[in-house]
Amino acid sequence: MAIFAVSDFREAARRRLPDFLFNYIDGGAFEEVTLGRNQADLQSLTLRQRVLRDVSDMDLSVNLFGQELAAPFLLGPVGLAGMAARRGEVQAARAAAAAGVPFCLSTVSTCSLQEVTQGAGSPPWFQLYITRDRSITEALLDQAIETKCTALVVTVDMPMSGIRYRDFRSGMSGAPGLKGQARRLFQALCRPSWSWDVGLMGRPHGFGNIAPFMGGNTGMEDFVSWVAGNFDPTVTWKDIDHIRSRWSGPLLIKGILDPEDAQTACAAGVDGIIVSNHGGRQLDSAPSTASVLPSIVKAVDGKATVLADGGVRTGADVVKMLALGAQGVFLGRAWAYALAAGGQDGVARMIDLLMTEMRVTMALTGVAQVQEICSKVLVRQ
Strand ranges (E), the chain: 62-64, 67-69, 73-75, 104-105, 125-128, 152-155, 251-256, 272-275, 305-308, 328-331
Residue 85 backbone phi and psi in degrees, to 5: -150, 165
Q: Tell me how far apart the alpha carbons of residues 292 and 276 are, in angstroms, rounded to a whole number.
A: 10
379 is known to lie in a ligand binding site: no
* Strand pairing report for 305-308 and 152-155: unpaired
281 is in an annotated binding site: yes
Q: Per the annotation, does 36 bind a ligand? A: no
Active site residues: 278
Rounded to whole angstroms, the maximal C-alpha distance in the chain is 66
Tell me whether residue 309 is annotated as binding.
yes
Question: Annotation-wise, does 312 bind a ligand?
Answer: yes
C-alpha to C-alpha distance for 240 and 344, rounded to whole angstroms: 34
55 annotated as ligand-binding: no
244 is in an annotated binding site: no
**Does 328 belong to an annotated binding site?**
no
Query: What whole-number distance in Å separates Cα of residue 34 and Cα of residue 289?
Result: 9
β-pairing verdict for 62-64 and 67-69: antiparallel
136 neighbors 108 (Cβ within 8 angstroms): no
Residue 278, annotated ligand binder?
A: yes
Question: How far is the first Cα of the chain from the last one, in angstroms, to the nearest whole number?
Answer: 39
187 known member of a binding site = no
Check whether 276 is labelled as a binding-site residue.
yes
Asked whether residue 227 is marked as a ligand-binding residue, the answer is no
Annotated ligand binding at 203? The verdict is no
Provide CB contacts within 8 A for 87, sequence distance 6+: 110, 111, 115, 119, 202
66 is known to lie in a ligand binding site = no
Question: How far is 328 from 69, CA to CA, in rounded Å?
Answer: 10
* 184 appears as a binding residue in the annotation: no
Q: How far apart are CA 351 and CA 319, in angstroms?
A: 14
Residue ranges of the binding site for glyoxylate:
24, 129, 164, 278, 281
Residue ranges of the binding site for FMN:
77-79, 106, 127, 155, 254, 276, 309-313, 332-333
Residue ranges of the binding site:
24, 77-79, 106, 127, 129, 155, 164, 254, 276, 278, 281, 309-313, 332-333
